[in-house]
Amino acid sequence: MSDGTIQSTSALDAAALDSLFRDARTVAEFSGEAVTDEQLAAIYELTKMGPTAMNIQPLRITWVRTPEARQRLVEHMADGNKAKTAAAPMTAVLSFDRQWHEHFAAIFPPAPAQGAVFAANPDLSAVMGNNNAHLQAGYFLLAVRALGLAAGPMGGFDAAALDADLHAGMDRQSILVVNIGVPAATEPRYPRLPRLDYATAVTEL
């Protein structure tokens, strides 16, 4: 499908589509420009509006702000992710709250007692939390891009050790670490990798 055809069917203008999808890239190196408190708040305000199953919203965000906390985080990152995490203007640890069902009455008023069903079934609760937090992580990345920033999501880290350290006393399971900021002038460093075409990725029944 051509860009013109996409644009003719889109509710967003070309610049917005470029910022969110076509020109947006995963970033490893950032400029020295700080990420503001207002930007951090706006990222969450956009992220929370994406749909989740039964509105459960299990995603939790830990902003790693202080040098001491950043060093603790770096110790749990895979070797290839340590330097870029140490240098990023801001880093978020995305996790899901294993006790998300405790908020059920507030977030799903049509059936407030349903939270007890999930509390009694920890395996189902964990699957729901994990699946929907990953869904929200996608919204998070788009929210970062919508604010004119770039994200560098990473799965290379010791989640159990990270949670025991940075999330001590909180029943959270980390799923992603994301560096955030304004891209360095050297980014993107590599050409965009190929995407599967429509015929390969899509089945029509």
Domain ranges of the chain: 25-184
- Quick one: fold of 25-184? NADH Oxidase (3.40.109)
DSSP state of 36: P
Any idea which residue has 């560098």 for tokens? 152
Q: pTM, whole model, 2 decimals? A: 0.95
Residue among 177, 148, 182 at smallest CA distance from 61 = 177
Residue pLDDT tens, the chain, 205 long: 667 778 788 889 999 999 999 999 999 999 989 999 999 999 999 999 999 999 999 999 999 999 999 999 999 999 999 999 999 999 999 999 999 999 999 999 999 999 999 999 999 999 999 999 999 999 999 999 999 999 999 999 999 999 999 999 999 999 999 999 999 999 998 999 999 999 999 999 9
Model confidence over 177-192: pLDDT tens digits? 999 999 999 999 899 9
